[in-house]
């Protein structure tokens, strides 16, 4: 059969591209009409789509119609202004057009030669962002360190854990793997645990130290010190500490400087996870939450969370890039080239797990250039102001309480248990969460702190305004009223 396919025809790209941009723009115009949390049942799509792919091409309009009728009902609208769950995952016009360009060029920049601009722009843009965050100079690419864009914070912690593991094993001998110990608080994101599983760290050597309300769920340096001493006494080898600025459950901030000093005095790698809260630290008034980062070996923030850069874009900086390269480099014949052999360039394939990598720096570059630091600071401040506003609304209703101090744009709160019955209180808050989310008019999520079921209200979607916060609060209040009436 004659080959009629022209997969990258410029005129067809123009036609479909314009139509798709119109479709997406209309989506954003009408985004509030959708239930924020998708209300479909598991398996809903099987009944709506054919069993196998078509033999003959379908029309573009037909596909768009199917997206509208069949796909969008199964979408949870992360960009809705009424989205307050988990943490935000921002999109923006700048991030979107950067993503579009990245998809358009579709290069695979594993080494410098594979697309020099991809590597060089990534180095430059991460230096820019490092300066915005006032990271110490050791993290800049001019010295021994530098930044790299990983897909996610999970990949970031994995690669630095692998670098730290190999570094310590070179020192103490490769048979010592079973003695290596990792430390973090029990509030640390589960990605650390997954990284330990992948890196072969023995599960019993993964110390997730209990953090309590007495430290607002931050890791206690004394507790860390004691645990390390005990481990040393029994011949174990402490080698990795992960601290968090803005934990996932409640935005707790670990005391970086004290923790980092302990790590350093024990020859350990010190990683700082600021996946969510790192964005706030571009504002001078929040930068102090990162104080102590100067003693860290690596620092991570997700520009795709709260920094208007479409998913995925997780920025990781290290002080000693050779540690990453020693752990992760390979040098197969088919990738050899003059620039790499002469050690004149950075080959990002040696800083990450996969070989292939997208041109992700384009979207971060677009965000930084098209918005500028001042606008980005205002953006963050506005969300924090809205979160404060929500906190004030809660304070005016005696049926509710704010559970942990609000630091950034997340409010942890709950409906107070009736007659101090905590287990009934947990059930009540769970019911409240389900009741609110099933309305489709707002989406919030939950966590458990010290055995209490807590509701999380995270402000951070790009379109959220005060009216959306007020509307969500009204739904919460109304649902609480009904539930309390039922439980009498």
Instruction: List residues near ligand PLP by CB under 6 A.
Output: 87, 152-154, 189, 191, 244, 246-248, 273, 275-276, 302, 314
Q: How far is the CB of 305 from ligand PLP (least distance, A)?
A: 7
Residue with Cβ nearer ligand PLP (28 or 78): 78
* Distances 413 to 394, 397, 452 between C-alpha atoms, Å: 8, 12, 10
Q: How far is the CB of 87 from ligand PLP (least distance, A)?
A: 5
Tokens of 27: 């989506």
Assess contact for 273 and 155: CB atoms under 8 A: no
Residue with Cβ nearer ligand PLP (199 or 236): 199
Q: How far is the CB of 27 from ligand PLP (least distance, A)?
A: 24
Residue with Cβ nearer ligand PLP (152 or 326): 152
Dist CA 420 CA 416 (whole Å):
8
Strand locations in 145-261 (E): 146-150, 180-185, 206-209, 237-244
Residue that has been written with the tokens 């995952």 in this structure = 89
Residue with Cβ nearer ligand PLP (184 or 237): 184
Strand locations in 230-362 (E): 237-244, 269-273, 298-302, 314-318
DSSP letter for each residue of 41-90? PTTTTTTTS-SS--SSPPPHHHHHHHIIIIIGGG---TTSTTB-SSS---
Residue with Cβ nearer ligand PLP (188 or 205): 188
Residue with Cβ nearer ligand PLP (252 or 428): 252
Q: How far is the CB of 348 from ligand PLP (least distance, A)?
A: 18
Q: How far is the CB of 248 from ligand PLP (least distance, A)?
A: 4
- How are strands ordered across the β-sheet holding 400-402? 400-402, 410-415, 452-458, 445-449
Q: Which of 232, 239, 208, 231 is nearest to 327 (CA)?
A: 239
Tokens of 254: 């670990």
Q: How far is the CB of 304 from ligand PLP (least distance, A)?
A: 7
Residue with Cβ nearer ligand PLP (84 or 400): 84
Tokens of 20: 């798709």
312: left (phi over 0), alpha (psi -120 to 50) or beta: beta
Q: How far is the CB of 63 from ligand PLP (least distance, A)?
A: 29
The total number of residues shown for the chain amounts to: 488
Assess contact for 338 and 316: CB atoms under 8 A: no
Residue with Cβ nearer ligand PLP (189 or 360): 189
Q: How far is the CB of 429 from ligand PLP (least distance, A)?
A: 21
């Amino acid at each position: 059969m004659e080959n009629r396919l022209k997969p990258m025809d410029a005129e067809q790209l123009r036609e479909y591209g314009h139509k798709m941009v119109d479709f997406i723009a209309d989506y954003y115009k009408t985004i509030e009409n959708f239930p924020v949390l998708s209300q479909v049942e598991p398996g809903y799509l099987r009944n709506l789509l054919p069993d196998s792919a078509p033999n003959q091409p379908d029309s573009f309009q037909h596909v768009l119609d199917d997206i509208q009728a069949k796909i969008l009902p199964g979408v949870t609208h992360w960009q809705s202004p009424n989205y307050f769950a988990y943490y935000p995952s921002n999109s923006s016009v700048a991030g979107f057009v950067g993503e579009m360009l990245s998809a358009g060029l579709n290069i695979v920049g594993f080494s410098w030669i594979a697309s020099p601009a991809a590597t060089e722009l990534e180095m430059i843009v991460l230096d820019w962002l490092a300066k915005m965050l006032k990271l110490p100079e050791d993290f800049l690419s001019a010295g021994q360190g530098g930044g790299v864009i990983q897909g996610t914070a999970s990949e970031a912690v994995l690669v630095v854990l692998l670098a730290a593991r190999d570094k310590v094993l070179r020192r103490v001998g490769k048979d010592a793997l079973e003695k290596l110990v990792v430390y973090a608080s029990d509030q640390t994101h589960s990605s650390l645990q997954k990284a330990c599983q992948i890196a072969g760290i023995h599960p019993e050597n993964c110390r997730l130290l209990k953090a309590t309300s007495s430290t607002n769920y931050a890791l206690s340096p004394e507790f860390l010190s004691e645990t390390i001493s005990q481990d040393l006494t029994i011949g174990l080898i402490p080698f990795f500490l992960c601290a968090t600025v803005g934990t996932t459950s409640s935005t707790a901030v670990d005391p970086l400087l004290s923790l980092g000093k302990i790590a350093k005095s024990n020859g350990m790698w010190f990683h700082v996870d600021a996946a969510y809260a790192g964005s706030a630290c571009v504002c001078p008034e929040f930068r102090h939450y990162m104080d102590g980062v100067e003693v860290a070996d690596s620092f991570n923030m997700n520009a795709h969370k709260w920094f208007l850069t479409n998913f995925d874009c997780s920025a990781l900086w290290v002080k000693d890039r050779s540690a990453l390269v020693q752990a992760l480099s390979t040098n197969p014949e088919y990738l050899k080239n003059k620039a790499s052999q002469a050690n004149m360039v950075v080959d990002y394939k040696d800083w990450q797990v996969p070989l292939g990598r997208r041109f992700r720096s384009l979207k971060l570059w677009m965000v930084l250039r098209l918005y500028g630091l001042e606008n980005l600071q205002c953006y963050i401040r506005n969300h924090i102001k809205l979160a404060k506003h929500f906190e004030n609304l809660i304070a005016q209703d005696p049926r509710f309480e704010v559970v942990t101090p609000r630091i950034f744009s997340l409010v942890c709160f709950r409906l107070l248990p009736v007659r101090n019955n905590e287990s009934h209180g947990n059930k009540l808050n769970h019911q409240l969460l389900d009741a609110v989310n099933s309305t489709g008019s707002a989406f919030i999520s939950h966590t458990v702190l010290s055995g209490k079921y807590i509701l999380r209200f995270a402000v951070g979607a790009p379109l959220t305004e005060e009216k959306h916060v007020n509307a969500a609060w009204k739904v919460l209040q109304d649902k609480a009223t009904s539930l309390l009436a039922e439980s009498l």
